[in-house]
Structure 1
Amino acid sequence: MLYRILADLAVFVHFLWILFLIFGALAGRRHKVVKVIHLSGLLFAVILHVFSLICPLTYAEIYFTRLADPTAAYSGSFIIHYLDRLIYIALPPIILLALTIALALFNVLVYFIRK
């Protein structure tokens, strides 16, 4: 039971992290610490995609899911199952890389646009 909760928590945190990478510039414009974390996260995401690496949150989710039930058809609850589909979109790697770079550039532009 504990491993199932930890696997679901990893999916939920992963989803929140993605939302932060998409919308973090909105808060980062007002708070320097948020800006540094956000820009670092964007750089990390680009590096992961450029070098075809897997996000550590994905490893955590897989690890806890296998500990919970290695034979599960899909992990977690109904909601977690569909959050997984949002997180792990089936697109060619080059498209994901292009989208990640576009997202990073857009967010950097948001930081430079003055109020």
Structure 2
Amino acid sequence: MIYRVLAEATMVVHFLFIAFVVTGGFLAWRRPRLIWLHLAAAVWGLCIVVFALNCPLTYVENWARERAGQSGLERGFIDTYLTGVMYPERYLDEVRLLIAVVVAVSYAGVVIRWRRRRG
């Protein structure tokens, strides 16, 4: 039971991490110090995509699921829970581009707000 709860909690944390990667730059508009945490998360997310790395959270979820008697994820977290579920697989490149644009816009907003505060 505890391993199943751990697996589900890890899945939730994974979703929250991805949501932070996508929208965290906008949070930095209100909390400027968050930009450094978001930059680290965005770089990590980019490295996972570019270098086809597995996120440590995927390992934790798989480990917990296997101990709970379930099968682990056959593919990565995004491939399992998002691609083909939240958007069609054929739009993967477009979704990645959209996420990059959203992050870039949020960073542009951070820069504009910083300049206004200094000026």
Global fold match (TM > 0.5) = yes
Separation of aligned partners in 1, 2:44 and 2:91: 16
Point out which structure has higher relative CO (alpha carbons under 8 A, 6+ apart). Answer: 1
**CA distances 1:55-104 after superposition (whole Å, capped 9, x unpaired):** 211221111111111359x9xxxxxxxxx888432336961643443343
Separation of aligned partners in 2, 1:60 and 1:103: 29
1:77 equivalent in structure 2:
none
2:103 equivalent in structure 1:
104
Q: Does 1:38 align with 2:32?
A: no
1:22 equivalent in structure 2:
22
**Tell me, what secondary structure is at the counterpart of 2:36?**
helix
Q: Which of 89-98 and 36-45 deviates more?
A: 89-98
What's the Cα RMSD here? Answer: 3.0
After superposition, the Cα gap between the structure-2 partners of 1:50 and 1:109, relative to the gap in structure 1 and judged at 3 Å, is same
The percentage of counterpart residues that share the same residue type is 27
Separation of aligned partners in 2, 1:20 and 1:107: 12
**CA distances 1:24-66 after superposition (whole Å, capped 9, x unpaired):** 1222123243111011101110111010112211221111111
Work out whether residues 45 and 100 of structure 1, in 8 Å CA contact, stay in contact via their aligned partners in 2: no
Query: What TM-score do the two structures reach when normalised by structure 1?
Result: 0.71
Long gaps (5+) in structure 2: none
